[in-house]
Amino acid sequence: MEALGARLGRACAGGGILYLVGDLGTGKTTLVRAMLRVLGHQGPVRSPTFTLLEPYACGALRVYHLDLYRVGDPEELELIGLRDYVEPGVLCVVEWPERGAGYLPAPDVLVRIEFEGDGRRLWLEAASPRGDGILDLT
């Protein structure tokens, strides 16, 4: 997860929207932590399970890590002002995006993670031309 996170982080240095789909414990936050490290973040990386959103400044790049696991109604995303965070040059990484259906912007890249034995199986899917570019660099 850390190796993939580092590769994705480098590929997303210009921003984008990534959806991370996977059960609890599959390594979604570990992947985000590795992305942030390669982008230059030096401090702690917390799972935003309770805060919903953790912002990070990685040089000129703003990164927003969202965890929607505890979202009961997608309209809650309006209350945190999600639309204000999604703009060009910003990287948004969203865990549990299905809980924000109808309120989240479309992803550039969809990352699916499943347990397989003692390891993980991953699928990366471009969902936009920007996503094609990100995966070309990964």
Instruction: Give the tens place of pLDDT for each residue, 39-93.
Output: 999 888 888 877 888 999 998 899 999 999 988 888 888 887 777 777 778 999 9
C-alpha–C-alpha distance, residues 22 and 111, integer Å: 8
Q: CA torsion sign, 108 to 4 to 45 to 25?
A: positive
Residue 132's pLDDT band, with cuts at 50, 70 and 90, is very high
Q: Residue 47 forms beta bridges with which residues? A: none
C-alpha–C-alpha distance, residues 111 and 21, integer Å: 6
Give the H or E element holding residue 120: strand 119-126
CATH number at residue 126: 3.40.50.300
Q: C-alpha distances in angstroms, 126 versus 14, 58, 82, 87, 92?
A: 16, 24, 22, 19, 15
Residue 103: half-sphere exposure toward Cβ, Cα within 13 Å: 22
**pLDDT, mean of residues 14-22:** 95
pTM over 0.85: yes
C-alpha–C-alpha distance, residues 16 and 42, integer Å: 21
Give me the number of domains the chain comprises: 1
pLDDT for 64: 94
Domain that holds residue 67: 2-137
Please give the structure tokens belonging to residue 39: 């982008």
Instruction: Give the tens place of pLDDT for each residue, 19-44.
Output: 999 998 888 999 999 999 999 998 88
Residue 95 has pLDDT above 90, yes or no: yes
SS3 of 79-112: HCCHHHHCCCCEEEEEECHHHHCCCCCCCCEEEE
